[in-house]
């Protein structure tokens, strides 16, 4: 295929001259700079095709411009051959000097056994090459360059293959792992959870569902290739037909949700192993049914006296260690929980106390939060639930301490996917100590895997011993605290000028 023929094919079948060649998710993936990057994707999203474009450009560069060999590994021969052909196609598109694709048989040693494998290769004038290999860890031994593991959820022994690939990183290589899911217990999904838990520092996870790709223009490209007219109605029908085609497998194949999801996210024995009966759970409830209607002065003074009696003795006894907090908001039905954590020895964390507020007026929630947070030793940051009415308290915290150390978080899927694996990992590794309390245990057990995302189900509540209900509140506050501890570096005491309430007559002695 000549350069002009390849370009004409691309323009005729895929792209208008005014549009970028690649879709947004393909470009974002290709621009990733992390040494280890993982892509969990839905089918028909074009990630591998876009990867081929990037690899052709990489292999065509001279050594002094950052070029390197590319080693592509997949689980079957046909996929490997197609990827290398796509690389050759992109070489023509970009007018890169490269030979035609070659197919050879090569020998590698598997222990004492000699094995023959089919290898597909494109050589570039830069001296580098793109080589397609079988999915066997030993084929990467002694290699140098970029490694692409495609449909990693289906290769044999991904852990060993990844171990061999990561060895190349020492010499400046990068590793890209791409796949649809193949079950919740598959090594590919476990790799994703480990990265989100922080077990691979610097590694990143990209996530592109089938609907994401369509929103980025995938169906428009398909229409042009097939010579069909695009319309919103046709796109909607295309999505419906695709999901119908995949049937019960659509969640996994298209929406990046590994199969067999839906159970408890945290094992009871794991939670209990991290519990310490010495840690206090301090609970507040209104002193009277009409407390919300008391005067501002009366409410402030009552909360001040309670904080000084119940919180201050614990706070005064804390070690001078970096501290953070997380806060989950509730008002009439759910609790507000404020969960501080402090740094301990050997990269571990402990909970000095947790504060639960039941049916607490907004202004007294602010008062209790500021009382606690202002007395945390070496306070380094906090994360607050900013969904719904929680946005009030989160905003006040930002104003009181500083936007540099306060994060207002909406607890959407993206945050859950980032925060919960790290919290789970700390509990499994016993690097976080939490209170030994039955209601706190219930809160952690309330976290479920919902369509591949760990979260507390929206409509599920447990009973509290005070007659109220709980919605996993303390577990969410804990996850926010862990998130804050990983977001904000430990430092000395934070310097800030607190913004007090404009109702100045209640400031005197209130804190």
Cα–Cα distances in Å, from 448 out to 246, 419, 442, 455, 456?
25, 14, 12, 6, 6
Q: What is the 3-state composition of the chain as percent helix, strand, coil, each rounded to the nearest 5?
A: 45, 20, 35
Say what the pLDDT of residue 490 is.
Answer: 64
* pLDDT tens series, the chain, 511 aa: 444 454 555 544 455 555 778 999 999 999 999 999 999 999 989 999 999 999 999 999 999 988 999 999 998 888 899 999 999 999 888 888 777 778 877 756 555 566 667 788 999 999 999 999 876 666 777 678 899 999 999 888 888 888 888 888 877 789 999 999 988 888 999 899 999 998 899 999 999 999 999 999 999 999 988 889 999 999 999 999 999 988 888 999 999 988 876 677 888 889 999 999 999 999 999 999 999 999 999 999 999 999 999 999 999 999 999 999 999 999 988 899 999 999 998 889 999 999 999 999 999 999 999 999 999 999 999 999 999 999 999 999 999 999 999 999 999 988 999 999 999 999 999 999 999 999 999 999 899 888 888 999 887 787 777 678 899 999 999 999 999 999 997 654 444 444 433 333 333 333 3
Q: Euclidean distance between the first and final Cα of the chain, in Å? A: 77
- Residue 433 neighbours by CB distance under 10 Å: 21
Cα separation, 477 vs 151, in Å, equals: 36
Please list, residue by residue across 457-484, b when 16 or more beta carbons sit within 10 angstroms of its beta carbon and e when fewer do: eeeebeebeeebebbbbbbbbbbbbbbb
Please say whether the dihedral angle defined by the alpha carbons of residues 216, 219, 225 and 228, taken in this order, is positive or negative.
Answer: negative
Contacts 24+ apart (CB under 8 A), 105-113: 108/136, 108/138, 108/139, 109/138, 110/136, 110/138
Q: Label residue 28 exposed, middle or buried (CB < 10 Å: 0-12, 13-18, 19+).
A: middle
Look at the pTM and tell me if it is higher than 0.95.
no
At the topology level, CATH places domain 268-506 in: Nucleotidyltransferase; domain 5 (3.30.420)
Q: What angle do CA 10, 14, 15 make, to 5 degrees?
A: 85
Cα separation, 200 vs 192, in Å, equals: 10
- The residue ranges of every structural domain in the chain are 3-255, 268-506
| 204 contacts: CB under 8 Å, gap ≥ 6 | 32, 34, 36, 37, 38, 195
Listed residue (341, 263, 256, 354) closest to 310, CA to CA:
354
* E-only strand ranges, 165-227: 175-179, 204-208
| 366 contacts: CB under 8 Å, gap ≥ 6 | 393, 396, 501
Looking at domain 3-255, which CATH architecture does it have? 3-Layer(aba) Sandwich (3.40)
Please say whether the dihedral angle defined by the alpha carbons of residues 100, 104, 107 and 110, taken in this order, is positive or negative.
Answer: positive
Listed residue (484, 492, 489) closest to 324, CA to CA:
484
| Token pair in block for residue 433 | 């100590």
């Amino acid at each position: 295929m000549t350069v002009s023929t390849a370009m004409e094919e691309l323009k005729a079948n895929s792209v208008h001259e005014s549009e970028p060649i690649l879709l947004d998710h393909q470009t974002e993936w290709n621009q990733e700079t992390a040494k280890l990057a993982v892509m969990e994707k839905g089918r028909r999203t074009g990630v591998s095709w876009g990867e081929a474009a990037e690899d052709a450009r990489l292999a065509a560069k001279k050594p002094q411009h950052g070029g390197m060999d590319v080693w592509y590994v997949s689980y079957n021969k046909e996929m490997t051959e197609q990827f290398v052909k796509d690389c050759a196609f992109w070489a023509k598109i970009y007018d890169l000097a490269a030979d035609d694709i070659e197919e050879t048989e090569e020998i590698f040693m598997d222990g004492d056994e000699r094995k023959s494998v089919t290898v597909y290769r494109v050589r570039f004038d830069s001296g580098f090459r793109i080589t397609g290999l079988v999915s066997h860890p030993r084929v990467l031994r002694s290699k140098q360059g970029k490694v692409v593991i495609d449909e990693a959820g289906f290769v044999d022994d991904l852990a060993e293959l990844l171990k061999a690939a990561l060895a190349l990183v020492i010499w400046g290589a990068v590793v890209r792992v791409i796949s649809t899911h193949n079950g919740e217990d598959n090594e590919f999904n476990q790799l994703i959870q480990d990265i989100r838990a922080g077990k691979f520092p610097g590694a990143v996870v990209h996530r592109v569902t089938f609907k994401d790709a369509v929103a980025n223009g995938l169906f428009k490209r398909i229409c042009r290739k097939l010579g069909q007219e695009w319309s919103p109605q046709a796109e909607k029908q295309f999505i419906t037909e695709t999901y119908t085609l995949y049937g019960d497998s659509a969640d996994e194949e298209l929406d990046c949700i590994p199969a067999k999801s839906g159970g408890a996210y945290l094992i009871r024995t794991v939670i209990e192993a991290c519990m310490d009966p010495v840690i206090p759970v301090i609970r507040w409830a209104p002193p009277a049914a009409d407390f919300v209607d008391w005067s501002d002065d009366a409410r402030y003074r009552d909360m001040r006296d309670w904080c000084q009696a119940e919180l201050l003795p614990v706070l005064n006894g804390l070690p001078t260690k970096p501290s953070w907090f997380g806060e989950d908001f509730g008002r009439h039905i759910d609790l507000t929980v404020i969960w501080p954590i402090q740094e301990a020895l050997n990269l571990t964390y402990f909970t000095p106390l947790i504060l639960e507020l039941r049916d607490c007026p907004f202004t007294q929630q602010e008062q209790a939060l500021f009382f606690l947070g202002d007395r945390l030793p070496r306070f380094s940051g906090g994360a607050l639930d900013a969904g719904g009415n929680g946005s009030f308290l989160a905003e006040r915290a930002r104003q009181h301490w500083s936007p540099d150390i306060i994060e207002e978080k909406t607890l959407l899927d993206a945050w859950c996917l980032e925060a919960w694996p790290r919290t789970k990992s700390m509990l499994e590794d016993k690097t976080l100590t939490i209170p030994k309390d039955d209601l706190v245990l219930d809160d952690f057990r309330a976290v479920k895997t919902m369509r591949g995302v760990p979260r507390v189900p929206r409509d599920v509540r447990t009973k509290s011993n005070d007659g109220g209900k709980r919605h996993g509140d303390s577990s969410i506050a804990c996850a926010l605290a862990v998130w804050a501890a990983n977001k904000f570096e430990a430092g000395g005491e934070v310097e800030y000028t607190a913004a007090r309430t404009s109702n100045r007559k209640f400031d005197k002695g209130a804190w």
